[in-house]
Structure 1
Amino acid sequence: MKPNPNTLAKLPHMGTFIKNKIQEQNITYAETARRMNIKQSTLNGYFIQETLQTRIIWKLSQALNYNLFTDIIQLLPEELQNTNKTSFQQTIQTQQQEINDLKKEISIYKEILSLKP
């Protein structure tokens, strides 16, 4: 089924988005540009762009030591945020099941120990 264009979440203005994230990290624009090995005027140019290449967001994430992609994903409608089950999520679910199983075993062992005369 094709999504209805009228119900699609609006793409955030990426220039404004990254400008706000840099400010939140309390890092100057000059320092951010230095970490990215670009001129500050280039960084300033990003702020007016409605969209940015993934490569730029990748480099910004590394410069800020902050995962910008996670925040971008959180801007998606909630029903789309977790549609892909990653191996990391699957590992967590598997480990949680193992923890629950071990808790049951411990409970059984405690019960057996309490029945001993």
Structure 2
Amino acid sequence: MVSRNLFVISGNVSQTPRQFGDKALKTVVTIAVDEFWTDRESGERKKRTDFLTAYTFNKKIGDFIQAHAKQGYQVTIDGRIRSNSYEKGSERVYTTDLEILRIDAHPPRSEASSGDLE
């Protein structure tokens, strides 16, 4: 049986991406992902937004994120899920992390189409 560790996220950049380390070793971006559904009892349309944080240690991808994934831009991220743990005081903390392998970024529709009309 073949196994895969892959995720795809499509949403909007919710904060300015951040780089960490002297040589920008780690780049972190937070994505807002909306979920819509219709309430069965009231028939009302509902929405929930999840804020997901993804990272990369790849300098080329990190530089692309800094240059092209501005707040409000639409992005699609492909990557893999990583499990990690660290000590915080006397307790072990376990995390599930999203590692970016590929990213596409597009400006908001109003910004992308504003230059097309002239």
Question: How does the TM-score come out when normalised to structure 1?
Answer: 0.22
Q: Which has the higher contact order (CA 8 A, sep 6+)?
A: 2
Is the radius of gyration larger for structure 1 or structure 2? 1
Q: Which has the higher helix share?
A: 1
